[in-house]
């Protein structure tokens, strides 16, 4: 079994200017033929459930064990519902600057009942259409931006809208899950295979 992408580190040449458009990251998206038998089964399962193998999941398959390990973590049971998970995914991906996850979770968020305008609001760490989701969005943004060192006010606001300590732990796990994928894409910069997320002008918090 050859290494996915077959791109050697030796072939990775950086220009002196790190912002140069000519700089290319040495990562191709692994295909089914590139990966191990174990990961081929995961690819087949993803294709049967999602309709295709998203590039970011394929990229996890550079590692023999990462796809199974990550998917077990990401698909674990939680006290949060699907909408709440997408609030966290959108906020975290915005803070971490992950274009791939913003595109994916804008699409998934709309599948779970948010409008595109609402996904943009959530990315800003606010939810004017729901007091409870607003508290969740503000908490997720503060945890991600401040590495968990949040204010008493943000935490009290979260609990005052009806969330519990169990919910808090699950929010932190969700942020960790999404941050992992954010970092993977930010490092590899593999192509985004979801419709691009809308842009918006950042405003002060």
Q: Where are the domains of the chain?
A: 28-76, 82-188
**Backbone dihedral region for residue 117 (phi beyond 0: left; psi -120 to 50: alpha; all else: beta):** alpha
pLDDT interval class at 19 (50, 70, 90): very low
pLDDT interval class at 202 (50, 70, 90): low
Q: Is the pTM of this model over 0.85?
A: yes
Summary mean pLDDT of the chain: 90
Confidence (pLDDT) at 4: 46
CATH code, residues 82-188: 1.20.1290.10
Please state the rounded mean pLDDT for residues 154-180. Answer: 98
Please state the rounded mean pLDDT for residues 170-176. Answer: 98
Confidence (pLDDT) at 203: 56
Q: Does 20 have pLDDT greater than 50?
A: no
Helix (H) or strand (E) holding 204: none
Largest pairwise CA distance in the chain: 55
Please state the rounded mean pLDDT for residues 10-26. Answer: 53
């Amino acid at each position: 079994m050859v290494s996915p992408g077959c791109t050697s580190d030796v072939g990775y040449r950086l220009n002196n200017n790190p912002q140069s458009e000519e700089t290319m990251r040495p990562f191709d998206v692994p295909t089914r033929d590139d990966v191990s038998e174990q990961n081929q089964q995961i690819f087949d399962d993803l294709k049967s459930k999602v309709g295709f193998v998203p590039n970011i999941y394929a990229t996890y398959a550079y590692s023999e064990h990462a796809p199974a390990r990550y998917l077990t973590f990401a698909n674990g049971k939680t006290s949060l519902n699907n909408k709440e998970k997408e609030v966290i995914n959108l906020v975290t991906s915005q803070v971490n600057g992950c274009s791939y996850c913003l595109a994916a979770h804008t699409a998934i968020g709309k599948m779970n009942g948010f409008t595109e305008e609402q996904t943009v609001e959530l990315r800003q760490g606010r939810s004017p259409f729901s007091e409870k989701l607003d508290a969740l969005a503000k908490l997720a943004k503060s945890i991600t931006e401040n590495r968990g060192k949040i204010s008493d006010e943000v935490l009290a606001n979260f609990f005052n809208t009806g969330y519990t300590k169990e919910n808090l732990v699950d929010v932190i796990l969700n942020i960790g899950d999404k941050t992992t994928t954010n970092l993977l894409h930010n490092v590899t910069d593999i192509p985004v295979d979801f419709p691009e997320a809308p842009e918006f002008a950042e405003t002060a918090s």
